[in-house]
Amino acid sequence: MLPAAMVAPSSFLTVLLCFAQICWCYNQKINYREKEKQVLDQILGPTSYDARIRPSGVNGTDGPAIVRVNLFVRSIATISDIKMEYSVQLTFREQWLDERLKFDDFKGKIKYLTLTEANRVWMPDLFFSNEKEGHFHNIIMPNVYIRIFPYGSVLYSIRISLTLACPMNLKLYPLDRQVCSLRMASYGWTTDDLVFLWKEGDPVQVVKNLHLPRFTLEKFLTDYCNSKTNTGEYSCLKVDLLFKREFSYYLIQIYIPCCMLVIVSWVSFWLDQSAVPARVSLGVTTLLTMATQTSGINASLPPVSYTKAIDVWTGVCLTFVFGALLEFALVNYASRSDMHRD
């Protein structure tokens, strides 16, 4: 038999190991999803958080709240020349620091908290200043979320579709380049309270293999566009999208047909001057076709007060076609005059 002095420490060690194992099992069974609910109830409680009050400035000062913005362009559906607008679908993200939302992450067990109700936290009053129409996406669920990180950082992400105004200069049409802007600004908070900044690094991303029917996206540039009014200065961001018009479409649809019409009108030069019906029919037909072509081109463009490059082209082609018909009239008149002299 073992001495009593040796049995007692052994029993104590056994009990200690069992207790440690029980504690480990208990920790493993902790439901951290339930902890997330408790944390949300704690930090967003009516007595601890007021969504109507904006966050403090940097380092808890009374300065403006800093909101960093970045965009992911998912698609560009249409670019309308006649309406001078374009449609874009994008993922819009904002991130800011709200120290009132700090919480214990349980030694890294809770990376962030997720919300789908934006009205539970303070939100920047951003709007798109050149927007014509817009809508959110709600299939199957609303495409929006808010993430709250342990140190109080808030990430807001939403998928939206917008139709935006894009004033165009069509003097070089269809050999032109157009710059379409996306402008975002604060509606009610001045720069004393709220400042928008582009996210550092890569503020705008564009989906790979972006295909547009008649344009190519050459590049995009981010900038700031703060505006001053009689109510104060407001923070503003903008991204300029530079589009180059694809010439191949217009080469096939406009330039080649116009050249063919001019060449066909010149066929009358090889017809006998006495073939009046044939030459008149050919001249009038090509003239009317050229006029219809010109009318169709202008119908797809907005009425502008300046001359476009395509106007010069169609005007020259129309002049050549009309000249061929006029040449026949002069030749026919000269021929009949010679016959009368004889």
φ and ψ of 115, to 5 deg: -120, 150
Q: Do 66 and 96 meet the contact criterion of CB atoms below 8 Å apart?
A: yes
pLDDT digits (tens, 9 = 90+) for 137-149: 998 899 999 999 9
| Mean pLDDT, rounded, for 84-88 | 96
pLDDT more than 70, % of the chain: 88
Mean pLDDT of all residues in the chain?
Answer: 86
- Rg (alpha carbons) of the chain, rounded to whole number: 36
pLDDT digits (tens, 9 = 90+) for 154-202: 999 999 999 999 999 999 999 999 999 999 999 999 999 999 999 998 9
pLDDT digits (tens, 9 = 90+) for 269-321: 787 777 778 778 888 889 899 999 999 999 989 999 999 999 999 999 999 99
| Mean pLDDT, rounded, for 75-88 | 94
Higher pLDDT, residue 303 or 61:
303
Angle, helices 309-341 vs 256-266, to 10°: value is: 10
Q: Which pLDDT band holds residue 2 (cuts at 50, 70, 90)?
A: very low
Q: Do 147 and 114 meet the contact criterion of CB atoms below 8 Å apart?
A: yes
Q: What is the pTM of this model?
A: 0.80
Q: What is the per-residue pLDDT for 342?
A: 59
Please tell me whether residue 214 adopts helix, strand or coil conformation.
Answer: coil
Q: What is the per-residue pLDDT for 3?
A: 52
| Mean pLDDT, rounded, for 251-262 | 94
Q: Which domains does the chain have, with CATH numbers?
A: 58-245 (2.70.170.10), 249-336 (1.20.58.390)
From the list 203, 187, 172, the residue with the least C-alpha distance to 92 is 203
Strand partners, 97: 153
Residue 119 pLDDT more than 90? no
Residue 33 pLDDT more than 60? yes
Q: Which DSSP symbol is given to 199?
A: P
Q: What is the per-residue pLDDT for 340?
A: 64
Higher pLDDT, residue 119 or 205:
205
d(CA 268, CA 264) in angstroms, rounded, equals: 8
- Beta-carbon neighbour count of residue 254 at 10 Å? 19
d(CA 338, CA 342) in angstroms, rounded, equals: 6
Return the minimum-mean-pLDDT range out of 86-100, 257-271, 300-314.
Answer: 257-271
Q: What is the per-residue pLDDT for 315?
A: 94
Q: Which pLDDT band holds residue 267 (cuts at 50, 70, 90)?
A: confident
Residue 27 pLDDT more than 90? no
Q: Which pLDDT band holds residue 24 (cuts at 50, 70, 90)?
A: very low
Look-up of token digits 């049409």: 173
Q: Which helix (H) or strand (E) holds 279?
A: helix 276-299
pLDDT digits (tens, 9 = 90+) for 209-219: 888 888 999 99
Q: Do 166 and 86 meet the contact criterion of CB atoms below 8 Å apart?
A: yes
Q: Which pLDDT band holds residue 1 (cuts at 50, 70, 90)?
A: very low
Q: Where are the alpha helices (DSSP H) in 69-151?
A: none
Q: What is the per-residue pLDDT for 192?
A: 93
- Beta-carbon neighbour count of residue 193 at 10 Å? 16
- Beta-carbon neighbour count of residue 63 at 10 Å? 13
Please tell me whether residue 57 adopts helix, strand or coil conformation.
Answer: coil
Q: What is the per-residue pLDDT for 262?
A: 93
Q: Which DSSP symbol is given to 198?
A: E
